[in-house]
């Protein structure tokens, strides 16, 4: 079982401290929800875990599977088994979803990359590999109720908000990480799209995948049941609990926690 450990994490962006001492442990098979008001540092936490160069770790460290990944690049972290679903997925014109998925899969699972295709033997192996991968992706698309014609479309180009988020979950299904970070996956989704995306996450989650779900609201937690709920405010986790804490936040807002801190 792989474990992601965040120890006394302090992070600055352009000289301004955003995270001020985060301690958090996530194991495969666990679902952790991180909630908090705007500007509390939730997205900063997700990008820092994945190694975005804009976010400077000034103190503390990140441990994954017993190894410090604090100085690793994003691709190295991905190969170890970390995954980030973006709040605002980017459009990539000219790159089909299928080609994107295949190159990402080969890059992660076979770091040496795609085989040299100069010989007839390698070209035959490549064609067989493409066929097998297409079948693999089709199985995941059926599981997530994603139409097959989406594979031919350019990555996120012209996609609705719901389609973009379903595409992120398809990437999650194909890449099969040990720990998945979902950065406000519910952002911009209507109720039907939210249910569809949540069903997809639930179909993929289990003992082999841990989830760090970052959200503002309790509504997605009605579909994706967290084992733990953490409240992030002003760069710190100020309260942790079960799903009951998320329900309390929905009823009372964040002021009751601010009052507890003040007291």
Per-residue pLDDT tens digits for 156-172 = 999 988 889 889 999 99
pLDDT at residue 116 is higher than 60: no
Give the CATH number of domain 3-262; options: 3.40.640.10, 3.10.20.30, 2.60.40.3080, 3.40.50.300: 3.40.50.300
Residue-level pLDDT at 113: 53
Which residue stretches of 51-190 are H helix? 74-80, 97-109, 120-143, 161-175
Min mean pLDDT across 32-36, 69-73, 125-129 is at 125-129
pLDDT(220) > 70: yes
What angle do the packed helices 161-175 and 97-109 form, to 10 degrees?
30
**Domains of the chain, residue spans:** 3-262
Block residue for tokens 């942790």: 240
Q: Which residues contact 93 (CB under 8 A, 6 or more apart)?
A: 154, 157
Tell whether the model's pLDDT for residue 86 goes beyond 60.
Answer: yes
Of 23-37, 54-68, 175-189, the range with the lowest mean pLDDT is: 175-189
Report, as an integer, the average pLDDT of 187-204.
Answer: 85
Q: Which residue has the higher pLDDT, 208 or 127?
A: 208
pLDDT grade for 48, boundaries at 50, 70 and 90: very high
Is there a contact between 182 and 224 (Cβ–Cβ < 8 Å)? Answer: no
pLDDT band at 25 (very low <50, low <70, confident <90, very high): very high
Give the model's pLDDT for residue 73.
94
Res 131 pLDDT > 80: yes
- Interval 123-138 mean pLDDT: 79
What pLDDT score was predicted for residue 125? 65
pLDDT at 49 (0 to 100): 97
3-state class (DSSP) for residue 23 = strand
Q: Taking residues 217-239, report their average pLDDT.
A: 93
Can you tell me the mean pLDDT for 80-105?
91
Per DSSP, what are the bridge partners of residue 213?
A: 33, 182
Tens-place pLDDT, residues 58-79:
999 999 999 999 999 999 999 9
Question: What confidence tier does 122 reach under pLDDT thresholds 50, 70, 90?
Answer: low
As a whole number of Å, the CA-based R_g of the chain is 19
143: Cβ contacts below 8 Å, ≥ 6 apart = 173, 200, 203, 204
């Amino acid at each position: 079982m792989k474990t992601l450990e965040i120890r006394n994490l302090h992070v600055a962006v352009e000289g301004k401290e955003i995270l001020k001492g985060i301690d958090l442990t996530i194991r495969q098979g666990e679902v952790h929800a991180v909630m908090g008001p705007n500007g509390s540092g939730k997205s900063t936490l997700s990008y820092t875990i994945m190694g975005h160069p804009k976010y400077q770790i000034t103190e503390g460290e990140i441990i994954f599977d017993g190894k410090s990944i604090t100085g690793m690049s994003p691709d190295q972290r991905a190969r170890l088994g970390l995954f980030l679903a973006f709040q605002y997925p980017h459009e990539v014109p000219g790159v089909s979803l299928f080609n994107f998925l295949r190159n990402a899969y080969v890059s992660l699972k076979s770091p040496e990359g795609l085989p040299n295709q100069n010989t007839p033997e390698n070209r035959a192996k490549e064609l067989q590999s493409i066929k097998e991968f297409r079948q693999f992706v089709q199985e995941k698309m059926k599981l997530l109720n994603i139409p097959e014609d989406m594979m031919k479309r350019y990555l996120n180009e012209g996609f609705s908000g719901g389609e973009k988020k379903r595409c992120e979950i398809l990437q999650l299904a194909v890449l099969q990480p040990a720990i998945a970070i979902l950065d406000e996956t519910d952002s911009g989704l209507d109720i039907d799209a939210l249910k569809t995306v949540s069903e997809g996450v639930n179909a993929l989650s289990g003992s082999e995948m841990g989830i760090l779900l970052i959200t503002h609201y309790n509504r997605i937690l009605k579909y994706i049941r967290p084992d733990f709920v953490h409240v992030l405010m002003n760069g710190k986790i100020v309260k942790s609990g079960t799903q009951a804490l998320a329900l309390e936040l929905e009823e009372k807002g964040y002021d009751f926690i601010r009052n507890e801190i003040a007291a």
